[in-house]
Structure 1
């Protein structure tokens, strides 16, 4: 075997490796696309309108401080719906702020009961 054949053999091995990596890259892209379609298919689509009451997700709540505390706060009133996924909310005090549409969900309670204080029972008092 002369050096030309050795170089050709080495180049063929590198070409096979490049083809293998290209196939792996394509298959990973196909997998990502399939998972993206599956994920988007299972997401609930909500069309929020002005006047709806919603709950806001509190992402900064630490799990171990208050384990039984809900991560959803509210209800808040929707005052404006922006076209690109933002929503303007108003709290009980009348303060308005904007949030992403993904961070809210519809409040299923009654609007009259939105400002009522719910009686709480603590386990150490029972």
Structure 2
């Protein structure tokens, strides 16, 4: 019986610093097809040999232990760090010069 149960368990390897999502099987407040049961992302603090993983929320410093089977790696987009620049046009090109030339071309 144990062998049948264990064949469905997917072995997952986490390391400290990984970002993960936590599965909440009891989320039945608003039942619906589109409601995600995964919450997070959380940061992995420590991995124990028993399969338990200690995770921390990004917003505060609370940590808690969960079963590693309730976690999956977070593969979301990396958000730009605060203070970084994002160029929407070519560097050095001013907005006015670009749009004035386009408007004058449309008038003729």
* Shared fold, TM over 0.5: yes
Is the contact made by 2:15 and 2:44 (CA closer than 8 Å) also made in structure 1? yes
Alignment of 1:1-126 (within 5 A): 32=1, 36-62=2-28, 65-67=30-32, 68-93=34-59, 94-110=61-77, 112-113=78-79
> Structure 1 or 2: larger strand share?
2
Q: Deviations over 1:28-75 (max 9, x none)?
A: xxxx3xxx4344334321111111111101122017x24121001011
Larger Rg: 1
Moved over 6 A (4+): none
**Structure 2: unaligned runs, 5 residues or longer:** 80-108
**39-48 or 94-103: bigger deviation:** 39-48
**Structure 1: unaligned runs, 5 residues or longer:** 1-31, 114-126
Give the alignment's TM-score, normalised by structure 2: 0.61
> Structure 1 or 2: larger helix share?
1
What is the aligned length? Answer: 77
Give the alignment's TM-score, normalised by structure 1: 0.53
Higher relative contact order (CA 8 A, sep 6+): 2
